A and B are shown apart, each in its own frame.
Chain A
Amino acid sequence: MSALAIPVHTPWWRSRGVRRFARHRLAIIGLVMITLLTFACIVGPYLLPYDSLYIDLRARFAPPLTGYHFLGTDPLGRDVAARLLEAGRISLLVGFFAMLLSTMIGTLIGVVAGYYRGAVGAGLMRVVDAFLSFPSIFLLLALAALLQPTPIMITIIIALTSWMEVARIVEAEVRSLRERDFVQASRMMGLSSAHIMFREILPNAIGPIIVAATLTVARAILLEAYVSFLGYGIQPPLPSWGNMLNGAQQYLSTAPWLAIIPGITITIAVTSFNFIGDGLRDALDVRSDHM
């Protein structure tokens, strides 16, 4: 029998999904902003003339663009630019790892609940409901007040209060995927449940998971800032965007840049991640292709 022609392979960067994402202007702006911010946080502290912990009491409350203090100085005369980037490292890392952890927990619970349904699924989803019924801010504050607020602990606490959304999304996705023929075919071949769940079904649910994960980063950064602002999060002298805001409270009228600069940075980071999330959602939704 003669071999049939196989269509030409299109590389992923020319695929429709990538094109749909590229059409989403806000998502591209978000992606550029996050890339710049991350790059600045990684490289910036080495390039700036001042260390973030260097105290210069003669130069207290210097407004932005004083000498080499591009963003001014704080009440102890520390360079705001250096602290902002140093804080960015911590805030972004906390956001990223909190997302990673919460996505993993949420995915695991969602896949198992969606695949087994019945008693197992119902049980797991009621746990999700129980977690959702706590006001997560108070849970977060209570836990942060009880435990040692190191960055790692804050990351874990944020993850524990934000995995439920991912779990719900994944559970719904898996429930519909498990009825598809290719899953039936896997069962017919005698593949184990674990194999079907994680190697056959999960890759097909990756789209919504990525979208949820991106939005979770934004949420986690915001939560960290919130808790640190209230003084229960990252403890000074370690800087974070949230505790920079906290320190700026009493100088709001005399040195407004101390609050405005980290505030703007948080806003940029959070909206950028949200834009990327929206862009990914459109890119992964085949129906938006009008074909």
Chain B
Amino acid sequence: MANHDPIAAPVSALTVRNLTIDLPKGMERKHAVSDISFDLKTGQILCIIGESGSGKSVTANAVMGLLPSAISISGGSIRCGDVDLTDASPEVLRDLRGRVVSMIFQDPLSALNPLMTVGDQIDEVMFAHGEGTREDRRARSLALLTEVGLPDPELMYHQYPFRLSGGQRQRVMIAMALALEPAILIADEPTTALDVTTQAQILDLIRDIQRRKGMSVMFITHDFGVVAEIADSVIVMEQGVIVEQGSAEQVLRNAQHPYTKRLIAAVPHLSDNDRTHDEVAGSAPVIEVDDLRKEYRSGSIFFGKERVVKAVQGASFALQPGRTLGIVGESGSGKSSLGRLLVKLMDSDGGRILFDGQDIAPMKEAQFRSIRPKIQMIFQDPFASLNPRSTIGRILTAGPVAHGMAPAKASQQARALLEHVGLDGGAFDRYPHEFSGGQRQRIGIARALMFKPKLLVADEAVSALDVSIQAQILELLNDIQRETGVAMIFITHDLRVASQICDEILVMQRGVIVEHGPPSQIFRNPQSDYTRELVAAIPGERIAA
């Protein structure tokens, strides 16, 4: 691309030209981003979208001058006004940061200082840049807290971050980023760690503030649903290269590059139709849960008051073989607790779990051990759920061998299953760190299938994965269910995912099941207020239409 680009009109807040950033030697590719050029126009929201490892966060950090020391810019320019950020001195950069360019992060809890009150942290930003007097700054902090929609700013001002919810913390981060009225706001996956309803509120807030202040926003995300909600223009990145850029409308409606099409196609949408089944319905249920209860107690009876959190209150449902039950809810709704109760990684406080006609709820570990193989679980985090020091072969065979299967037979079965879940048999002798997230999740699924279980509990099994991988794993689970007739309980916070794979859905709120029905009812004709709220908060349903 030539130095003088006709598109680069004077309205650009940020002009990036031929930017190349090197990765350290020995990484899977040479450049984190190579030869990318784009403009952030004044008063617009630019979404940079891509899967993990596409270089989108590196680009944002380069603009902020916050690259880790091992990564360096090897070519190109990032112009902001008259300054080239790639060769500006640290002092100039420090002055620009916060005043001209500001950033909000994915995880607001780790980005906030836990030992400082919210007010002091906002104050600090202004103090560091020598703004105003003490009273001015205080007044400004309060105004900012009001602006980002936090209730009772006076009270908020004196709170510590751990007292706030995830959404409130993200609002505080935004208030900090806005403290010096920056011209450019960089948002690095600011809603990824949040629940859907909170995500919708934060997106609204960013959009709203951007319009009011005429700021330019660079918004990094992996979710095309979010893009559809917020973007004016879009950049699609793959493997450090921009594969497509244009207006949001143009990219979403009429994507040109196959990668963009694939990403858009992979975005889960609410499906209108319930799943159809070949088998006759009405066979005996695999599992029947009746009035299941679990309470968490914290604090002690000796010192101060004891706190009781009712994680699961009176859950009841039944599930037939070959069918999938979705459990959806936001964080803290008790859905994961319910899952752990079913596989008995946790003991319940009351109620019955009838599995194959036997009540497993009161069983002791020794008694339950022979039933364990029939109820298996797929975990959320594929990085944490495989023992990093064991080979894949040992991870898969340890369980069956402990239950008396001959080691030779177990490894034969493990190799067959690995192929079945789409990995070649050579994976058998490898260690987990050699695999990508999606591949690890396949290994997790293979591990659960080693026992030929009757019930599979998938706890947020696709939440940690990129959308395109997510779609593949859902497909795999679907195939497995069709072949083996296993009953599945699918726990997720993502209603779009739930709508695709579930026959029935339970909606949980604060430990209580508030609605239970087929996806068509839950999504098209929700009965409870809470479900309605959840469905309304789903991002990007515009592009589904």
- Measured CB to CB, the residues of A under 8 A from B are 1-4, 6-7, 9, 180-182, 184-192, 195, 199-200, 203-204, 206, 290-291
Contact present for B379 and A204 (CB under 8 Å)? no
Judge if B422 is at the interface, Cβ distance under 8 Å: yes
Tell me, in angstroms, the Cα distance from A290 to B24 when the chains sit together.
11
Contact present for B423 and A3 (CB under 8 Å)? yes
Tell me, in angstroms, the Cα distance from A3 to B418 when the chains sit together.
9
Minimum-distance CB pairs A-B, first 3: A189-B399, A190-B372, A3-B424
Tell me, in angstroms, the Cα distance from A203 to B435 when the chains sit together.
20
Query: B345 to chain A: which residues have CB within 8 Å?
Result: 184, 187-188
Tell me, in angstroms, the Cα distance from A2 to B402 when the chains sit together.
31
With contacts A188-B343, A191-B402, A204-B388 taken as known, whether A291 is within 8 angstroms of B68 at the C-beta atoms is: yes
Contact present for B423 and A192 (CB under 8 Å)? no
With contacts A6-B424, A181-B381 taken as known, whether A200 is within 8 angstroms of B70 at the C-beta atoms is: no
When the two chains form the complex, which single residue of A180, A185, A195, A203 contacts B402, counting CB atoms closer than 8 Å?
A195
Interface size on B, residues (CB 8 A): 45
* Residue in A188, A192, A204, A206 whose Cβ sees the most chain B Cβ within 10 Å: A188
When the two chains form the complex, which single residue of A6, A181, A182, A186 contacts B435, counting CB atoms closer than 8 Å?
A6
Query: A188 to chain B: which residues have CB within 8 Å?
Result: 343, 345, 372, 376-377
- The stretch that binds A, out of B244-252, B271-279, B313-321, B426-434, is B426-434
Other than the given A180-B384, A185-B444, 19 more pairs (CB < 8 A) read A2-B422, A3-B423, A4-B442, A6-B427, A6-B439, A7-B28, A7-B434, A7-B435, A182-B386, A182-B387, A185-B379, A185-B386, A185-B447, A187-B345, A188-B372, A189-B376, A200-B390, A290-B69, A291-B68
Judge if B398 is at the interface, Cβ distance under 8 Å: yes
- The chain A residue sitting closest to B450, CB to CB, is A189
Query: B388 to chain A: which residues have CB within 8 Å?
Result: 182, 204
**Interfacial residues of chain B within 330-383, with CB under 8 A of chain A in the complex:** 343, 345, 369-370, 372-373, 376-377, 379-381
Judge if B253 is at the interface, Cβ distance under 8 Å: no
CB contacts between A and B, total, < 8 Å: 96
Query: A185 to chain B: which residues have CB within 8 Å?
Result: 377, 379, 385-386, 444, 447
Tell me, in angstroms, the Cα distance from A290 to B23 when the chains sit together.
13
Tell me, in angstroms, the Cα distance from A186 to B439 when the chains sit together.
19
Tell me, in angstroms, the Cα distance from A199 to B398 when the chains sit together.
10
Tell me, in angstroms, the Cα distance from A200 to B387 when the chains sit together.
7
Contact present for B372 and A189 (CB under 8 Å)? yes
21 A-B pairs (CB sep. < 8 Å)? A3-B423, A4-B422, A4-B442, A6-B427, A6-B435, A6-B439, A9-B430, A181-B384, A182-B388, A184-B377, A185-B379, A185-B385, A185-B444, A186-B387, A186-B398, A188-B345, A189-B399, A189-B447, A195-B402, A200-B390, A203-B389
Tell me, in angstroms, the Cα distance from A187 to B402 when the chains sit together.
12
- The chain A residue sitting closest to B27, CB to CB, is A291
Judge if B403 is at the interface, Cβ distance under 8 Å: yes
- The chain B residue sitting closest to A19, CB to CB, is B26
CB distance from B27 to the nearest CB of A (A): 9
Contact present for B372 and A1 (CB under 8 Å)? no
Query: A191 to chain B: which residues have CB within 8 Å?
Result: 398-399, 402
Tell me, in angstroms, the Cα distance from A9 to B422 when the chains sit together.
19
CB distance from B197 to the nearest CB of A (A): 27
Tell me, in angstroms, the Cα distance from A190 to B404 when the chains sit together.
12
Contact present for A195 and B398 (CB under 8 Å)? yes
When the two chains form the complex, which single residue of B68, B379, B436 contacts A184, counting CB atoms closer than 8 Å?
B379
Tell me, in angstroms, the Cα distance from A174 to B528 when the chains sit together.
45
With contacts A190-B372, A190-B403 taken as known, whether A4 is within 8 angstroms of B381 at the C-beta atoms is: no
Judge if B533 is at the interface, Cβ distance under 8 Å: no
Query: B208 to chain A: which residues have CB within 8 Å?
Result: none
Query: B379 to chain A: which residues have CB within 8 Å?
Result: 181, 184-185
Tell me, in angstroms, the Cα distance from A203 to B447 when the chains sit together.
20
- The chain B residue sitting closest to A291, CB to CB, is B70
Query: A9 to chain B: which residues have CB within 8 Å?
Result: 430, 434
